[in-house]
Amino acid sequence: MPLIQVHQTPGQTAEQKRELVRALTDTYVNATGASRESVWITIHETSRDDWAIGGQTLNARAAGG
């Protein structure tokens, strides 16, 4: 069973998430020949205050420092 994990910040709609899951599943199936039913996907949402790059949270980076 393949497991695809997506880590992202919140903000996408339920429809956008459904489209992402559909596209990831299609791509995996096309690339590997796996059955659609074998592909598992989890979406993990992390707030912009809990995600950091280079010592700054994403919110701090967006605010300029």
Query: What pLDDT sits at residue 41?
Result: 98
Based on DSSP, count helices (H) and strands (E) in the chain, helices before strands. 2, 4
The predicted structure's pLDDT at residue 32: 98
C-alpha of 20 from chain center: 8
Q: Which segments of 1-65 does DSSP mark as H helices, in order?
A: 14-32, 58-62
Question: In sequence order, what are the beta bridge partners of 64?
Answer: none
Domain residue ranges in the chain: 3-62
| pLDDT tens track for 9-27 | 999 999 999 999 999 999 9
DSSP helix/strand/coil, 32: helix
Q: Give 3-62's CATH code, choosing from 3.30.429.10, 3.30.310.220, 3.20.20.70, 3.40.50.2020.
A: 3.30.429.10
pTM of the model: 0.86
Is the Cβ–Cβ distance between 12 and 51 less than 8 Å?
no
> Which letter does DSSP use for residue 56 in this model?
E
User: Tens digit of pLDDT per residue, the chain (65 long)?
Assistant: 999 999 999 999 999 999 999 999 999 999 999 999 999 999 999 999 999 999 999 999 999 97
